[in-house]
Structure 1
Amino acid sequence: MSKSARIVTTAGAFVAAGTVATLLNGRVRSGRRRRRGEDVEFGSVRSDGVTVVAGDGVPLHVEVDEADRKTPTIVFLHGWVENIDVWHYQRLALRGTVRMVFVDLRSHGRSGRASSKRSTFADLADDTVSVTEQLVPRGPIILVGHSMGGMAIMQLAGTRPELFGGRVKGVVLLGTSSGRLMRSSPGLRYLIPLLRAGTPLLDWGRRFNSYSVIRRWGLGPGAAERHVDMANEMILEAPTYVLMDFYPNFVGLDLAAGLEAIGRARTTVVGGTADLLTPVKHARRLATAIPGAELVVLDDVGHMLMFEEHEAVTKVIEDVVDGVREEMA
């Protein structure tokens, strides 16, 4: 057999093996989805979408859940490779009790794609301003951010400190960090070789045994199968370019400049002791650096704490809402 024929044969075997593995993974995922036993199907909690055009022209998909009490408005900002479905439990629990705005960050979910040069935390902070100016033109605001969403809030505080204690009356920071993350996050270090590869195989590789990878790095050791599966389903919807375009933000991360301003708003920081992506020491550091911030530590909980301990996370948000309302009374 010639060298070229061997290459073709090997490539064909690789593709065939990959196809079989993908089909098997698809069947396993379907089986897990059936076993969830959900009262409300994950991904089905929706309201009419609104498009907010960012300053650089990127269309942002936003959904608003109205309520009888119009103030305060909670603006939810999800994390890297997530989308608004990450707030599944909080959205169900709080619906009708408070006005809520859910943003698909640029290049995520149903929002339009940004260029790699416009995939920065500064852009995310500007997008937050665009959303609030259009959809929350008056009244107090509570910002809730997970991981990269929390970093967008810290970036906003650094560039627009006057908003905090003014329009922004409350902040909830979930599983996030203001800096020195690369040295202490085994999950991000695990990701580096994949990003450096940058080949067409990366998309296929993300889907191959992704459930086990996400269970290991994204959730705590006792996480329920349905919560791992929900995270897996959501994260696989994010194209690989989202990983590639936003990754540089985490190298040399330093958002300390905005922490004092955040302290002008009622703030709670939440971290999980089993979080391998943003280890709990980052939550402790944030709570110390933000004046007056409250710290909530969730034992044996990983990065996807909105799933794993959804009732506790919802309670934190409710407490901040109640506190803001008391201040308004």
Structure 2
Amino acid sequence: MSRTLRLAGTAGAFVAAGTVATLLNGRSRGRRRRRRGEDVEFGSVRSDGTTIVSADGVPLHVEVDEAERKTPTVVFLHGWVENIDVWHYQRLAMRGAVRMVFVDLRSHGRSGRATSKKSTFAELADDVTAVIDQLIPRGPIVLVGHSMGGMTIMQLAGTRPELFGGRVRGVVLLGTSAGRLMRGEGSPGLRYLIPLLRAGAPALDWGRRFNSYSVIRRWGLGPDAHERHVDMANEMILEAPTHVLTDFYPNFVGLDLTAGLAAIGRARTVVMGGTADLLTPVKHSRRLAEAIPGAELIELDGVGHMLMFEQHEAVTRAIEGVLAEVREGMA
């Protein structure tokens, strides 16, 4: 049997399993959502949105939480298959104390879709530049990025190093990496797999819901994560269509963002990682902290990839600490 047929059979089995399980999985999600007992419903923390048009014409959904004190501005950049709801806890904790800008990265959340060829870190960095130019034309900035959002910050530092230490005074990198994430992905199999996934995206959108909660608990969060936080991550990730997976995946093959790390060191930088993170293992956070001059490393024991949920108070404290130092430097 050819490699293409084997891959097609695997994808077909996945979809078939998803078809059988969809109804039961939906009922389970409903029960978990009712059990969450949220003081503020996940996904409800919003402000009036605005649209920023990127350099290549992609409309970007951006929300701004204003504050009496206008500077610095904190810009939040989420990860792959996430959206601005990932900052649920940080947004609630910091609202009114600082001006915050939340960006749905291209093809994610409420932003417009980019083509697969325009789903690269170069375009993501250009999008951040457009947001800064149009919404934060003056004053100091703190950039906060999770996973792919952190990689976007590194790309920006590589292409626009003059921003760091100037406009960008603070950086917080959460569960992210500058490279060496994947090994062996240059094999011929991927050349078959990615086109197959793209062709089957509508069916896979349905099929990947099969047992998604268990998959996300296993790979996305730590072993002791609260059910509420697993469910929040599951709900958010399932909102991302399969084309987001396939269009952005090639960025992680041969990833190397080390060129911008020295520039990031001109800003006050905190790197935070979870010791139970299976997607961006904590060794990547350690490498970043070693490579970025003056960076502080914070390790969260037993925490997985979704540290903004699992240890939201620690993440908020880290952002607030960088913010306080930036403000001291402005005095």
* Residue 21 of structure 1, CA deviation: 1.8
How far apart, CA to CA, are the structure 2 residues paired with 1:179 and 1:313?
23
Alignment of 1:45-64 (within 5 A): 45-64=45-64
Match of 2:314 in 1: 312
**What pairs with 1:134-153 in structure 2 (closer than 5 Å)?**
134-153=134-153
Contact 1:73 1:99 in 2 (8 A): yes
Partner of 1:175: 175
Check 1:192–1:204 CA distance in 2 against 1; reply closer, same or farther (3 A cut): farther
Deviation at 1:183, TM superposition (A): 3.2
What residue identity is the alignment partner of 2:117?
K
Structure 1 contact 195–243 (Cα < 8 Å) conserved: no
Query: Could you say which residue in structure 2 is the equivalent of 1:269?
Result: 271
Aligned identity (percent) is: 82
CA contact (8 A) 1:121 1:249 kept: yes
Q: Secondary structure at the match of 1:32?
A: helix
Rounded to whole Å, the distance in 1 between the matches of 2:141 and 2:101 is 10
Do the aligned residues in 1 keep the contact of 2:78 with 2:104 (CA within 8 Å)? yes
Per the alignment, do residues 222 and 197 of structure 1 end up closer, same or farther by CA in structure 2, a change over 3 Å counting?
farther
Which of 311, 323, 326 is the aligned partner of 2:325?
323
Pick the aligned partner of 1:301 from 300, 303, 309.
303
2:274 partner letter: G
Q: Give every structure 1 segment of 4 or more consecutive aligned residues whose post-TM-superposition deviation is greater than 4 Å.
A: 14-20, 191-197
Pairing 1:97-112 to 2, within 5 Å after superposition: 97-112=97-112
* 2:246 matches 1:283: no
Deviation by residue 1:6-44 (Cα, 9 ceiling, x = unmatched): xxxxxxxx9997545211111100000000000000000
Output the CA distance in 2 between the equivalents of 1:119 and 1:15: 26
**1:220 aligns to what?**
222
Can you list the C-alpha shifts for 1:169-207, whole angstroms capped at 9, x where unaligned? 00000000001111399xxxxx99975741244222210
TM-score (norm 1): 0.91
Report deviation, 1:267. Answer: 0.2
Q: Is the 8 A contact 2:168 2:267 kept in 1?
A: yes
Q: Is the 8 A contact 1:125 1:155 kept in 2?
A: yes
- Within-5 A mapping of 1:1-329: 18-183=18-183, 195=194, 197-198=196-197, 199-200=200-201, 201-329=203-331
CA spacing shift, 1:35–1:170, aligned 2, 3 Å: same
The gaps in structure 2 that reach 5 residues or longer are 1-13
In structure 2, relative to structure 1, the CA distance for the partners of 1:127 and 1:165 (3 Å cut) is same
Partner Cα separation in structure 1 for residue 43 and residue 103 of structure 2: 14
Answer yes or no: is the 8 Å Cα contact 2:55–2:130 preserved in 1.
yes
Instruction: Give, as a single letter, the amino acid of the residue that structure 1 aligns with 2:263.
Output: A
| 8 A Cα contact 1:76 1:143, kept in partner | yes
Query: In 1, Cα distance between the equivalents of 2:105 and 2:210?
Result: 26
Distance in structure 2 (CA, Å) of the matches to 1:40 and 1:180: 38
Cα distance in structure 2, aligned partners of 1:93 and 1:194: 42
Summarize deviations over 1:93-133 as a string: whole Å, max 9, x none: 00000000000000000000000000000000000000011
Question: How many Å apart are 1:150 and its aligned residue?
Answer: 0.3
AA in 1 matched with 2:215? V
Distance 1:158 1:18, change over 3 A: closer
CA distance in 2, matches of 1:116, 1:264: 33
State the distance in 1 between where 2:192 and 2:28 align. Answer: 27
Give the gaps of 5 or more residues in structure 1.
1-13, 186-190
Amino acid at match of 1:109: G
Amino acid at match of 1:83: N
Q: How many residues are treated as equivalent by the alignment?
A: 311
8 Å Cα contact 1:121/1:151 also seen in 2:
yes
TM-score by length of 2: 0.91
Q: Say if 1:146 and 1:175, in contact at 8 Å, map to a contact too.
A: yes
Mapped to 1, the partners of 2:150 and 2:243 lie a distance apart of 21
**Using the alignment, how far apart are the partners of 1:38 and 1:192 within structure 2?**
44
Alpha-carbon RMSD: 1.9
